[in-house]
Amino acid sequence: MALTPDVAPVLALNSGSSSLKFGVFAQDQGAVQAIYRGSLDGIGTKESHLEIRSTDGRSLAQESHSSETQTHALRAVGAALRKLDLPRVAAVGHRIVHGGPELLEHQRITPEVLKKLEAAATFAPLHVPIELELIRETQSQFPDAPQFACLDTAFHRTLPETAARFALPETLWEGGIRRYGFHGLSCESILHALGKAIPPRTIIAHLGNGASITALADGRSVDTSMGLTPTGGVIMGTRTGDLDPGVLLHVMRSGIARGVELEALVDEKSGLLGISGISSDMRQLHDAENNPRARLAIEMFARAVKKQIGAFVALLGGLDLLVFSGGIGEHDAAVRAEICGELEFLGVALDGTKNAQNVPVISNTAGRVTVRVVRTDEEGQIARHVFRLLT
């Protein structure tokens, strides 16, 4: 897309544990379009790699880096974008995983908002401190550009109290202990991609290293698998998903893990990695399919997702559309088939050929439920929110 002087682009940042995804977007006649997209992977290693692509997928820059932190990564991204003659940035949007009980809307980042984000760090200690670090570095690199917080939890503010509350005393509910839900920006981007083709009863399965299932009634979130933190819900790459609370009490009483060790256990050493003992990467588990623990991890993951889908079908009173998204959801036909197997009684039937080809609609025409594969675009959704908030 050719830029004209009156077009001021927006920079969207999406940080992960070891990666920084980004995009530069412009608005043309109300439509948000990407100018550049890119990522810097392998943060914290000696082999981090930066790539920037054009809108048609051409590689515009490829560089090797030794980015130890997200701050180092952002500096490398900023330098690479400047080499591409990036014009003045109108604003910067940040994906914020958790805003705590006080930040439930996408909004401009002010000193007061920063204080609330700092207070929310205890809800998502693996994510929010890194995001705060990025915000401060971005303010240094782009001092004249307003910064915006785009919250993953905002989409789920429509949860009814029956879904949001845990079976805990009132004082804890009043203190912000509740189900927040995550992957909201992904859900929003999927609804944007579907446009008017959103039926009354929809389930979105965002399956990647982090995974969550969300039930939508008329396009609104009414329940979701993740809870107070992104650790809950279905099995994930390194996270346990839902546990009997007694497991944690037993682990602490037995002296197996406490405090930071317990946090590392449920967030970094469990899930697919903990079950398989091999990897948190589903692709590597497929490669090791002759290993019984690798096969067990895949089967447990698919079973957890299937159970959650079934529960939400009951909650919605039926199902019209099932959407797969995220790295696993978009690319892993074998896992999709395993999840959807034995769901024929709910009207879910995959077309084996279409599923193997990763085409947009993978359901059999005989099935009552449409099953789609939709690419998530969190960076694009961040940009849409920022342009809306700017005006």
Final residue belonging to a domain, choices 118, 151, 184: 151
- Percentage of the chain exceeding pLDDT 90: 85
pLDDT number for residue 1: 43
In a domain, 185, yes or no: no
142 and 272 part of one domain: no
Q: How would you classify the pairing of strands 370-373 and 321-325?
A: parallel
In a domain, 32, yes or no: yes
CB 328, CB 207: distance < 8 Å: yes
Q: Which of 74-78, 178-182, 306-310, 333-337 has the lowest mean pLDDT?
A: 74-78
In a domain, 157, yes or no: no
* CA separation for the pair 268, 313 (Å, rounded): 31
What average pLDDT does range 57-73 have in this prediction? Answer: 87
pLDDT of residue 161 exceeding 70, the answer is yes
229 and 369 part of one domain: yes
CA-derived radius of gyration, the chain: 21
CB 159, CB 181: distance < 8 Å: yes
CB 297, CB 239: distance < 8 Å: no
Which residues sit opposite 323 in a β-bridge? 204, 372
What average pLDDT does range 246-260 have in this prediction? Answer: 94
CB 184, CB 155: distance < 8 Å: yes
218 and 343 part of one domain: yes
Angle formed by the axes of helices 260-268 and 245-253, to 10°?
A: 140
pLDDT in tens, 52-62: 999 888 999 99
Which residues sit opposite 241 in a β-bridge? none
* CA separation for the pair 73, 141 (Å, rounded): 12
89 and 222 part of one domain: no
In a domain, 171, yes or no: no
Q: Which of 14-18, 75-79, 230-234 has the lowest mean pLDDT?
A: 14-18
Spot the catalytic one: 6, 28, 41, 152: 152
pLDDT of residue 149 exceeding 60, the answer is yes
Residue numbers of the domain that contains 284? 197-373
pLDDT number for residue 366: 86
In a domain, 168, yes or no: no
What average pLDDT does range 170-185 have in this prediction? Answer: 97
Confidence tier at 7 by pLDDT (50, 70, 90): low
Q: Which of 117-126, 302-311, 313-322, 345-354 has the lowest mean pLDDT?
A: 117-126
Q: What is the mean pLDDT of the chain?
A: 94
What average pLDDT does range 166-170 have in this prediction? Answer: 97
Tokens for 295, please give them.
């096969």
Tokens for 119, please give them.
């207070």
- Percentage of the chain exceeding pLDDT 70: 98
Confidence tier at 227 by pLDDT (50, 70, 90): very high
282 and 209 part of one domain: yes
Catalytic annotation present for 152 = yes
pLDDT of residue 183 exceeding 60, the answer is yes
239 and 129 part of one domain: no
In a domain, 384, yes or no: no
**10 Å Cβ neighbour count for 385?**
23
201 and 338 part of one domain: yes
Final residue belonging to a domain, choices 85, 116, 151: 151
Q: Count structural domains, the chain.
A: 2
CB 44, CB 24: distance < 8 Å: no
In what side-by-side order are the strands of the sheet with 59-65?
Answer: 59-65, 48-54, 31-41, 19-28, 10-15, 91-96, 147-151, 107-108
234 and 351 part of one domain: yes
* CA separation for the pair 273, 236 (Å, rounded): 9
In a domain, 118, yes or no: yes
Final residue belonging to a domain, choices 126, 151, 176: 151
246 and 105 part of one domain: no
Which CATH number goes with the domain that contains 244? 3.30.420.40
In a domain, 221, yes or no: yes
What average pLDDT does range 242-253 have in this prediction? Answer: 96
Confidence tier at 196 by pLDDT (50, 70, 90): confident
* CA separation for the pair 5, 64 (Å, rounded): 32
Confidence tier at 210 by pLDDT (50, 70, 90): very high
38 and 127 part of one domain: yes
Task: State the amino acid at position 327 in one-letter form.
Answer: G
97 and 214 part of one domain: no
pLDDT in tens, 111-147: 999 999 999 999 988 889 999 999 999 999 999 999 9
Element (H, E) at 372: strand 370-373
3-state secondary structure of 82: helix
pLDDT number for residue 4: 44
220 and 360 part of one domain: yes
